[in-house]
Amino acid sequence: MRVVVEKLTKRFGGVVALDDVSMEVPSSSKVGIIGPNGSGKTTLFNVITGYYTPEKGKVLIGDGKKLTDITGWNPNEIARLGVVRTFQIPRLIPSLTVLENLLIFYDYNRCASIGYALRRKWLECEKKAVSKAMGILREFGLLEISNKKPSELSAGHLKLVETLRGLMADARVFLLDEPFAGIETWMARRLIEVIKMINSERKATFIVIEHRISELLEGVDYIYVLHNGRLLAEGKPGEVINDERVVKAYLGG
Ligand SMILES: Nc1ncnc2c1ncn2[C@@H]1O[C@H](COP(=O)(O)OP(=O)(O)OP(=O)(O)O)[C@@H](O)[C@H]1O
Ligand SMILES: [Mg+2]
């Protein structure tokens, strides 16, 4: 699924968190977003996913040439289109196990029809959800943590599980906010492999915010750079990190 952002502006009082930002994220691509602290990266995700309404501009999403204007839609409506996100600090539900945290992302609406109720098919639906969740945990080598609570998991596993919830929801667009923050290098590499796998096998689109640029470079095809709410540069990973303006922004220039 393709994501297009057109001239977005989002203010908080006197702070212009996003200033006329436009981006084009092609279907099935992996795009990175970098920029110094406070440059508007998380705000961009909050606007795309409907947590904030922009003062100006549009968010469009869709397949091929047919795009739907989702500006002003609420987060639930946007999630139902297949857009999922992860947070800078992972937000799994602490009282639920890993398996249960996956189960709550299953689309139970598909079982909510009168037909299902009349034929007492709820159990069948629950079974399908469990087998889907177990299938995902098996595929990504996480069966051994399926009954663990978030407090028992490493930072890397928290990030991984949060990402895999998107598969439960059959997500088509994954927005990952600093997936490598606070995790060990080998785990970051594993997460990159997971992103690549989901991208190539399920044709999902990824937009990844990250400060750990060396790791990000391995995982994405294209990068946008934000600085003070504005788009500072864009391009292929190798080009962007050598861009003088980008280097200057990171050095505080
Ligand atoms: N809910 C809010 N209320 C007021 N100001 C906000 C709010 N959210 C973000 N801001 C401000 O908007 C600007 C952009 O913040 P944002 O969180 O988008 O930056 P970021 O690029 O994600 O930074 P970081 O790399 O530190 O996560 C900052 O000046 C921030 O203080
Ligand atoms: Mg942020």
Residues 13, 23 contacting (CB under 8 angstroms): no
Q: Which CATH superfamily is domain 2-94+169-250 in?
A: P-loop containing nucleotide triphosphate hydrolases (3.40.50.300)
Question: Among 11, 33, 15, which residue's Cα sits nearest to residue 24?
Answer: 33
Q: What are phi and psi of 6, to 5 degrees?
A: -120, 115
pLDDT of amino acid 114: 63
| Segments of the chain with pLDDT less than 70 | 112-122, 253
34 touches ligand 1 (CB under 6 Å): no
186 touches ligand 1 (CB under 6 Å): no
Determine what percent of the chain falls in helix, strand and coil, rounding each to the nearest 5: 40, 25, 35
pLDDT of amino acid 241: 87
Domain ranges of the chain: 2-94+169-250, 96-148
pLDDT of amino acid 116: 60
pLDDT of amino acid 250: 80
Q: Which string of b and e fits 80-106 if b means at least 16 CB within 10 Å?
A: eebbbbbeeebebeeeebbbbbbbebb
- Number of Cβ within 10 Å of residue 192's Cβ equals 19
Distance 88 CA to ligand 2 centre (A): 7
Ligand 1 atom, smallest distance to 36 CA? 25
pLDDT of amino acid 253: 53
Distance of alpha carbon 195 from alpha carbon 252, whole angstroms: 31
pLDDT in tens, 72-101: 999 999 999 999 999 888 889 999 999 999
Question: Among 206, 240, 243, 200, which residue's Cα sits nearest to residue 224?
Answer: 240
pLDDT of amino acid 121: 66
